[in-house]
Amino acid sequence: MANDELYTPKHIFDALKVIFDVDVCAPKGGPLHVPAVEYFDEDSDGLTAKWFGCVWMNPPFSKPSPWVKRWLDHGNGIALLPLSGNSRWWRDLWHSEAGVLMVEPNTGFINPEGGEQKIMYGISLWAIGNHNIEALKRSGLGHVR
């Protein structure tokens, strides 16, 4: 799925002002704009690798469910996910302790060629852990529930 290879724009990280211990879903060659100390890409399989500290997660939108479960179990980080209120994984998030912020519609993401690509569906930022929820609130990116 083409949307699985779209990367988070830099302005989101600039607003969050969080240094992540690990990006668990980085593109090959490392994260683009993600302020992370370490990263897991497809070769190092972030879904099964040992997560630690504060994680950044922008998982494959074609199959976020196992990633969301792992993120909730880990309990420390920020995730960028599609809005999908009819999905079980989305309801699990909604009923968790995580904070959520709806990202502005038509946010431009970065495609593998380095160009901007807008997506046609809603995006949300989720935070778990007090420090991360506070980062969402301070970000100025929108209202946090």
- pLDDT, tens digit, 9 for 90 and up, residues 69-96: 999 999 999 999 998 878 999 999 999 9
Better-scored residue on pLDDT, 83 or 13: 13
Using alpha carbons, select from 40, 41, 30, 32 the residue that is nearest to residue 11: 32
Number of domains in the chain: 1
d(CA 99, CA 133): 6
Query: In the predicted model, is pLDDT for residue 97 greater than 80?
Result: yes
- pLDDT, tens digit, 9 for 90 and up, residues 20-73: 999 999 998 888 889 999 999 999 999 999 999 999 999 998 899 999 999 999
In a domain, 100, yes or no: yes
In a domain, 109, yes or no: yes
Residue 111 is part of which domain span? 2-138
Q: Are 34 and 5 in contact (CB under 8 A)?
A: no
d(CA 108, CA 133): 23
Q: Are 4 and 67 in contact (CB under 8 A)?
A: no
pLDDT at site 122: 86
In a domain, 114, yes or no: yes
Query: In the predicted model, is pLDDT for residue 4 greater than 90?
Result: no
Query: In the predicted model, is pLDDT for residue 118 greater than 90?
Result: no
pLDDT at site 3: 55
In a domain, 19, yes or no: yes
pLDDT at site 5: 80
Find all residues with CB under 8 Å of 71, minimum gap 6, and list them: 55, 57, 77, 79, 126, 128
In a domain, 51, yes or no: yes
In a domain, 145, yes or no: no
The pairing of strands 36-39 and 20-23 is parallel
pTM over 0.85: yes
- pLDDT, tens digit, 9 for 90 and up, residues 126-143: 999 999 999 999 999 999
Query: In the predicted model, is pLDDT for residue 2 greater than 50?
Result: no
In a domain, 111, yes or no: yes
